[in-house]
Structures are given as structure tokens and as C-alpha cells.
Amino acid sequence: MIKLKNIFEYIPENLEEEYVEKLVESKNVKIERIVSHGHKSPKDFWYDQELNEFVILIQGKAELVFEDGTKTLMCKGDYLNIPAHAKHRVEYTDPNEHTYWIAVFY
């Protein structure tokens, strides 16, 4: 049975950690819903992913920092395509509201 879901529903009440949910996965693609609420990457931590990542911010605000020092402030509707092995980290997410991301790894 095909079940309708909503991107803004079924979020844990207490987000001690960033919430990551795998929505779809196949051999070549993985799609995740990520919900942040004031979360950021640990100090000196860098994502160094094997796959390309297309990420879009559905709600909230976030700032990404890349290894070369580039900072990117993302707001509702903004999206990025991050090449594989482009080291980056989450420097900031809005502490006053949930930040909803959709990440597509390919």
C-alpha cells in the first residue's frame, strides 16, 4: 500500500540530537529528511562524503562552512549541490524553530 506522509509530521518532541530519517534508498540514490533545532557540527568535525549531496532547506535557517573557508547562509527554499569529498560542516541552525532539510545523496 502506498501511504501518504507529511514532511513536517512525526518529529520527536525533544530533539537532543539532529533527527535524520531515511525516506528512500536505492542502489544509486538515498533521500533523507533532517530536522535540526539549534544543532551544529562538533568542533573540528568535517563531513567528507563518498557521494554527491543535493540539499534543500524547506524551513528554517542554517549556515554551512566549507574547508576552504567559504560560508553559505541558507534560508527557506535555498539549495546546494555539494560534490563528493567537498569537506563541509554545519556551523549554525536556527535555535528558535525547526530547520527542515531534504538531502539527496547520489
CA distance linking residue 94 with residue 98, whole number of Å: 7
pLDDT at 55: 98
pLDDT at 41: 96
- Full set of structural domains in the chain with CATH: 19-105 (2.60.120.10)
Mean pLDDT of 91-101: 96
Residue with cell 506522509: 5
pLDDT at 28: 94
Cα Rg, the chain, nearest whole Å? 14
Mean pLDDT of 41-62: 97
pLDDT at 13: 85
pLDDT at residue 14 is higher than 90: no
Beta strands in 2-42 (DSSP E): 19-25, 30-36
**How do residues 57-86 score in pLDDT, each as one tens digit?**
999 999 999 999 999 999 999 999 999 999
